[in-house]
């Protein structure tokens, strides 16, 4: 990685420069597997260079995200090869909502103590998800900060830049009453709701290693299921789409209104899809109010596609996993969501 | 900020959604003061849109950085309006070394507990430095993670994208033996060496509030002096420059070789500039070896400009603060730095 330099640290203050250099080499090896032709390699040392090619009126679309307290589950289970996938896919989905193709990605890893094997595992996940999205992992920063991060704790942040032709920007502006809402299944909690889950089930590895018949696996395996990327699936469907809402923190209730024009609202029928077992388990064990569940979790729907009724049939042929979950209706002022069946 | 959404949190797990919404509004107010014509405002909700204009063969240059444990000084003194300046200027300087003009910036703020006033102070610094660099603060993420960040602790990460015309990329490739090294003064420690400083002086606010006659101010004021941006100064000089090394973690010894071609080295005369008082104070109080000082701190030189001897006179007219600090010499294999006078 061009601009990944050794952490500003020194053995005198309890920091391991050699571990830093090794960690950087391990990430660099992974990163190189992701490079697309746009990467201008080995040019420039402090910055990462990328040339956008083949666009007539390119608009850059960028986003920054963290993995949140899902990290705490990975740390408790000492399993670090999936959080990188979570991070990249969250970012890829965010810019996908504007119709953007991913171009490049940079990461930030801050640890109390640099553990090269752990960084390698994280980088493996980052690189795998980047390759699957055609996105080049071109830079990053690794920081060792024992005074900020306790024990084996770390934080992981990702930045993505993608591109869309200006006339093809998806912005929800064309959404009208009567438009159809198609829901795409999530792969689990994605990256939201982990603070609540940890409060309900506790943070002991033993709780995470308990097997649940209704999940068909352990709680930890279920909770670490990677955040799904919708890019490969939705890419060919983008020309038929009026709006895309990535269902992250705040659930359908907070995220769907973000793409609706003023004066419109959404009516979502929660009986139109089956709530996955993990959400039923969380609600039951935690005694969580149903409305609260829909405000915290994706409840099984990770992306909502808005299209005209005319395009919906064609879209459903392209997206066999998509199912109608509601419709756009006239509203008053600020867009909102009416949850039917809650 | 388009893609800044409320943190994935909920009162039941001890997290304050209202504080999150207020924090986001405060950042958004600051961010809007930075927007350049490239920002496509209010389009897209999950991603931030930017259109690069006026370049024939644009190459994007990106970088990610943190502020490191300088944050701990800000936290100890409860003064948060300068760390944002540090972050932006560090990033601006990094991509400047490739000859890039800053375009846009995204931030990540993770706190144990969201304090809107603190976030506003951080955002004020981010926005001020962005305005000065002509860089648009177009996105960010605010995360409240009490399980990762203790008490008033937080981390702050920045991501920058700039642009350079492909033929104007500065990459050090043209550097030859006999080329001149010009040093530009740093404003202080910039963002490196704080773990060592904290080990020497301790972390109590009382230590940071002590007045030092040789500094003409308190230790805390000196340590929080913002990382200087070299962009306004160097912008008109870029066509005359063969290489730029940003002196960050690892000092001159680690950073200058990053831009030198194989087979070349640098000879730096440390007696050619006066070491600022803060570094003499740190060395004296900590009993730090001089070589170690040069590996940890910038020692008064924050950016090194490499030019041909022919261009050097013209450059010095453009950069009255620059002083010759050494020259490029033949080396063996991997580039290195010979520190004369240490």
Q: Considering chain B, tell me which residue range(s) the CATH 3.30.1330.10 domain(s) occupy.
A: 11-168
User: Whole-number mean pLDDT of chain B?
Assistant: 93
CA–CA distance, A241 with A315 (Å, rounded to integer): 8
Q: Considering chain B, tell me which residue range(s) the CATH 3.90.650.10 domain(s) occupy.
A: 180-340
Checking if the pLDDT of B295 tops 90, the result is: yes
Nearest to A148 among B147, B153, B199 (CB): B153
Over residues A155-180, the mean pLDDT reads 97
Q: Test A64 with B3 for CB contact under 8 angstroms.
A: yes
CA–CA distance, A138 with B57 (Å, rounded to integer): 20
A161 chain-B contacts, CB cut-off 8 A: 60, 62, 161
Phi and psi at residue B106, to the nearest 5°: -130, 145
Determine the 3-state secondary structure of A208 from DSSP: helix
Pick the CATH number of A11-168 from 3.40.50.300, 3.30.1330.10, 3.40.640.10, 1.10.443.10: 3.30.1330.10
- Give Cα separations from B17 to A101, B118, B253, B320 (angstroms): 32, 16, 47, 51
Pairing between strand A211-212 and A337-340?
unpaired
In A, minimum Cα distance to B246 occurs at A46
Checking if the pLDDT of A264 tops 90, the result is: yes
Q: Test B97 with A292 for CB contact under 8 angstroms.
A: no
Q: Test B58 with A52 for CB contact under 8 angstroms.
A: yes
Per the structure block, which two tokens stand in for A282?
A: 């969380």
Checking if the pLDDT of A8 tops 50, the result is: no
Distance from CA of B314 to the nearest CA of A (A): 24
Angle A124-A129-A131 (CA atoms, 0-180°, nearest 5)? 95
Q: Test A10 with B155 for CB contact under 8 angstroms.
A: no
CA–CA distance, B37 with A170 (Å, rounded to integer): 20
H or E segment at B264? strand B264-269
Strand stretches in chain A, DSSP E: 48-50, 58-66, 101-111, 136-144, 154-165, 180-185, 211-212, 217-218, 243-246, 264-269, 301-307, 323-330, 337-340
Q: Test A64 with B108 for CB contact under 8 angstroms.
A: yes
- For residues B258 and B248, the answer to whether their CB atoms sit within 8 Å is no
CA–CA distance, A40 with A17 (Å, rounded to integer): 28
Q: What is the CATH number of domain A180-340?
A: 3.90.650.10
Sorted by sequence, the CB contacts under 8 Å of residue B310 that are 6+ apart come out as none
Checking if the pLDDT of A165 tops 60, the result is: yes
Checking if the pLDDT of B118 tops 50, the result is: yes
Q: Test A6 with B249 for CB contact under 8 angstroms.
A: yes
- Closest C-alpha among B161, B277, B291 to residue A162: B161
Distance from CA of B274 to the nearest CA of A (A): 23
Distance from CA of A37 to the nearest CA of B (A): 13
Q: Test B63 with A106 for CB contact under 8 angstroms.
A: yes
Residue B263 CB neighbour total at 10 angstroms: 12
Q: Test A258 with B46 for CB contact under 8 angstroms.
A: yes
Best mutation target, B9, B13, B21, B47, to test chain A (most A CBs within 10 A): B47
CA–CA distance, A259 with A310 (Å, rounded to integer): 20
Nearest to B47 among A13, A98, A249 (CB): A98
Q: Mind listing the pLDDT tens digit for each residue in B157-213?
A: 999 999 999 999 999 999 999 999 999 999 999 999 999 999 999 989 999 999 999
- For residues A338 and A276, the answer to whether their CB atoms sit within 8 Å is no
A72 chain-B contacts, CB cut-off 8 A: 147-148
Per-residue pLDDT band at A24 (split at 50, 70, 90): confident
Per-residue pLDDT band at A13 (split at 50, 70, 90): low
Over residues A268-292, the mean pLDDT reads 97
Handedness of CA B68, B73, B79, B81 (dihedral sign): negative
B183-206 core/surface letters (b: 16 or more CB in 10 A; e: else):
bbbbebbbbbbbbbbbebbeeeee
B242 chain-A contacts, CB cut-off 8 A: none
- Residue B146, pLDDT score: 86
pTM: 0.94
CA dihedral A142, A148, A153, A158 (to 10 degrees): -40
CA dihedral B15, A249, A187, A183 (to 10 degrees): 150
Per-residue pLDDT band at B8 (split at 50, 70, 90): very low
- Closest C-alpha among A316, A314, A89 to residue A184: A316
Q: Test A8 with B68 for CB contact under 8 angstroms.
A: yes
Nearest to B59 among A40, A254, A259 (CB): A40
Per the structure block, which two tokens stand in for A232?
A: 């490969």
Distance from CA of B218 to the nearest CA of A (A): 23
Q: Is B117 exposed, middle or buried (0-12, 13-18, 19+ CB in 10 A)?
A: exposed
């Amino acid at each position: 990685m061009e601009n990944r330099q050794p952490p500003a640290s020194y053995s005198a203050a309890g920091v391991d420069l050699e571990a830093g250099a090794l960690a950087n080499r391990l990430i660099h090896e992974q990163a190189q597997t992701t490079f697309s032709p746009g990467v201008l390699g080995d040019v420039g040392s402090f910055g990462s260079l990328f040339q956008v090619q083949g666009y007539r009126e390119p608009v850059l679309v960028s986003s920054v995200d963290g993995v949140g307290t899902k990290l705490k589950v990975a740390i408790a289970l000492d399993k670090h090869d999936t959080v990188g996938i979570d991070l990249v896919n969250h970012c890829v989905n965010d810019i996908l909502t504007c119709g953007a193709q991913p171009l490049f990605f940079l990461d930030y890893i801050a640890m109390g103590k640099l553990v090269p094997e752990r960084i390698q595992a994280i980088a493996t996940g980052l690189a795998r998800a980047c390759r699957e999205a055609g996105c080049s992992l071109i830079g990053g920063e690794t920081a060792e900060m024992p005074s900020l991060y306790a024990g084996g704790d770390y934080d992981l942040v990702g930045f993505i830049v993608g591109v869309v032709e200006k006339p093809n920007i998806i912005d929800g502006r064309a959404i009208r009453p009567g438009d159809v809402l198609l829901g795409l299944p999530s792969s689990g909690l994605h990256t939201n709701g982990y603070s609540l889950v940890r409060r309900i089930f506790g943070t002991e590895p033993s709780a995470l290693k308990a097997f649940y018949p209704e999940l068909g696996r352990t709680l930890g395996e279920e909770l670490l299921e990677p955040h799904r990327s919708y890019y490969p699936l939705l890419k060919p469907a983008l020309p038929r789409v009026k709006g895309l809402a990535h269902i992250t923190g705040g659930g359908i209730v907070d995220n769907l209104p973000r793409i609706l024009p003023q004066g419109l609202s959404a009516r979502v029928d929660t009986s139109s899809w089956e709530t996955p077992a993990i959400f039923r388990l969380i609600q039951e064990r935690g005694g969580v109010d149903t409305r609260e569940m829909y405000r915290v979790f994706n409840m099984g729907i990770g992306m909502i596609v808005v299209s005209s009724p005319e395009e919906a049939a064609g879209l459903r042929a392209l997206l066999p996993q998509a199912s109608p979950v509601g419709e756009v209706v006239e509203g008053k002022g600020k867009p909102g969501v009416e949850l039917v069946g809650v």
